[in-house]
A and B are shown apart, each in its own frame.
Chain A
Amino acid sequence: MSNVKSRLRKEKIAKIAMQLSGMAITGSLFFIVGTILYKGLPYLSWEMVSQSPQGGFYIGKEGGIFNAILGSLYLATVSTALATLIGIPISIYLNMYVKSGSFLERACKLLFDVLFGIPSIVYGAIAFSIMVWIGIRASLLGGIITITLLTIPIVVRTIDELLKTIPIDLQHVTFSLGSTRWETAKMFLRYIRPGIFTAILLAFGRAIGDVAGVLLTTGFSDNLPKYIDEPSATLPLAIFFQLSSPIPEVQGRAYASALVLTFIILIIVICTHLLASKQQKHKI
């Protein structure tokens, strides 16, 4: 063939293009984290993370974002716990109690897949109007309910994936030995335990980073969150509000707050990764 050279040249160009796009995509991650690190580090101080906003915090005077960190941790912990308590039984039900391959199973799994993609602003909007309707104001409770709804599909889908990896023979063996479905389910939960922690961490990461859901439902407050029926600050919202300030000092604090959130997320991701490799080792 006469055009072999040009075909091979094309191959080379395509390969370079592919490598470049791979690098661009992977690079974007380091780029984002790098930008936040570079801008945020100069403003990060112990005061930032250990104090609540004092008078004049929003014009650049002393104080910190401890209230927001605490609020976010409360919110994410409680809603992740709730979502786990609701989500795990649902996926056990779908995998062990419902006949495998039945319409109910397929329809429900599809539904949770689809819900996984519904943006938090929709949950936030509906939760907000329900709260207005029954007359409760923006509060930690409102945020917890919204974020729980948001994270249930994550837990259900992740646990479902894990349960699917358990060999079907194991189920047959336990049944044939006379155990009930519930007893088998308990055993399976022990079997996928590292994976459950992964699911919890995934949900926690989503919960702590969400803005649109808490924007309308949780409100904002300069005080440390004490009661569940009071508005509370959250870390992502603190970043959002401080960034829209025209004062450079306050903007700098937004970068530092973003850095704090980045650290939290990175810790979660690393733990998830370690747990996931542990789960791999458990495989039969």
Chain B
Amino acid sequence: MNWRLIKDKLAERSFALLLLSSVVVIFLILIGLTMKSVPLLRAESLLTVLTDSVWSPLKGNFGFLPFIMGTIWVTMISLIIAVPLCVLASVYLVEYASEALRKMVLPLMNVLAAIPPVLYGVWGVLFVVPILSDYIAPLLGVNTTGYTVFAGGIVLAVMIFPIMISIMVEVLQTIPQELKAASLSLGATKWETITKVILVKAKPGILAAIVLGVSRAFGETVAVLMVCGNIPQLPSSLFDAGYPLPALIANNFGEMMSIPLYDSALMFAALLLFVLIFGFNLLSRIILNRLEEKAQ
């Protein structure tokens, strides 16, 4: 055989090996997490673990509900803030803004995406928390330190801006010009065209962008941990402290060795995150890939 062909084959084999090993690593992670979680699930049923609200590892109580609720609270707050802003802003960028403005704003979104979580956390501590405790809470007659699920939600909202904006802009750009022209020529105002034609047509893509935002919010660890108080309780208002799942793992790993099942419980938390985020990402990527194929 020709030496060049041998080189080609050699490259093919070794590249395939690299691909295979990185796929295998993912499955090993999944299997490892599952195996580590088994002891906990053997001691208590999955349902109890997920719905019990008492977390006291020393007594052997591993109720994940406070952490699940903490995660849901901060995620919901961030969505309530970020979704309307991102939809409005990306519609503006695509439908109204000049090419020059778009070319200026979109790279800025990349900068926002590149800022590490810990810097968002620092910003949260320096700005969001004091504002909440000194101005907004007294205005509403609440007494708080500021380290609340609200603060976590605000910081998260800013963190999911870039991913949602960039995907929403891409989705909106695929809407055919003819549709808009038809609506406008029938006498609809631009805003009516946006709400009744463009957004309706873009709904699956926008949904996919939101789901990606949710999964980003679910997994965000350090920035949220720094501002949301970390008290394992069920938050009942914006100004309660919360304790999201990733923060639980980050705060307690390493010191868990002596308590039985603690290590298993934390791995179960990691498994829960992995499965949820994997599922969410998979869902939105499939929607987006479909849309992309359709657009071509």
Asked if A39 CB lies within 8 Å of chain B CBs, one says yes
Chain B 41-74, CB within 8 Å of chain A: the 1/0 string? 0000000000000000000000000000000000
Asked if A195 CB lies within 8 Å of chain B CBs, one says no
- The CA-CA distance from A211 to B15 in the complex, in Å, is 31
- The CA-CA distance from A79 to B74 in the complex, in Å, is 32
* Interface residue total, chain A, C-beta cutoff 8 A: 80
CB pair B277 A209 closer than 8 Å: no
Q: Quick one: which of A24, A116, A152 has the most chain B CB within 10 A? A: A24
> Which stretch, A49-57, A166-174, A221-229, A264-272, touches the partner chain B?
A264-272
Asked if A149 CB lies within 8 Å of chain B CBs, one says yes
Asked if A48 CB lies within 8 Å of chain B CBs, one says no
Chain B residues with CB below 8 A from A26, complex form: 105, 108
CB pair A118 B123 closer than 8 Å: no
> Which stretch, B134-142, B174-182, B235-243, B249-257, touches the partner chain A?
B249-257
CB pair A215 B250 closer than 8 Å: yes
Asked if B29 CB lies within 8 Å of chain A CBs, one says yes
- The CA-CA distance from A163 to B91 in the complex, in Å, is 30
Knowing A97-B16, A216-B254, the reply to whether A119 touches B222 (Cβ < 8 A) is: no
CB pair B15 A97 closer than 8 Å: yes
CB pair A209 B8 closer than 8 Å: no
- The CA-CA distance from A121 to B221 in the complex, in Å, is 7
> Of B19, B116, B222, B246, which is within 8 A of A208 by CB?
B116
Chain A residues with CB below 8 A from B97, complex form: 22
Asked if A71 CB lies within 8 Å of chain B CBs, one says no
CB pair B18 A90 closer than 8 Å: yes
Knowing A152-B22, A211-B222, the reply to whether A121 touches B122 (Cβ < 8 A) is: no
Q: Would you give the shortest CB distance from B97 to chain A, in whole angstroms?
A: 8
> Of A15, A29, A97, A261, which is within 8 A of B96 by CB?
A15
- The CA-CA distance from A118 to B280 in the complex, in Å, is 10
**Which residue on B lies nearest to A132, using beta carbons?**
B257
> Of B165, B246, B286, which is within 8 A of A119 by CB?
B246
- The contact sample of 13 A-B pairs, CB cut-off 8 A, is A10-B191, A21-B86, A22-B89, A26-B108, A32-B158, A117-B212, A121-B249, A123-B29, A209-B114, A210-B117, A211-B222, A254-B122, A265-B116
Q: Would you give the shortest CB distance from B33 to chain A, in whole angstroms?
A: 6
Chain A residues with CB below 8 A from B267, complex form: 125, 129
**Other 12 A-B pairs with CB < 8 A, given A97-B15, A208-B116:** A22-B97, A25-B86, A28-B161, A35-B123, A94-B19, A120-B221, A124-B250, A126-B32, A126-B33, A181-B8, A211-B117, A212-B246
**Which residue on B lies nearest to A38, using beta carbons?**
B126
CB pair A182 B8 closer than 8 Å: yes
CB pair B23 A97 closer than 8 Å: no
CB pair A18 B25 closer than 8 Å: no
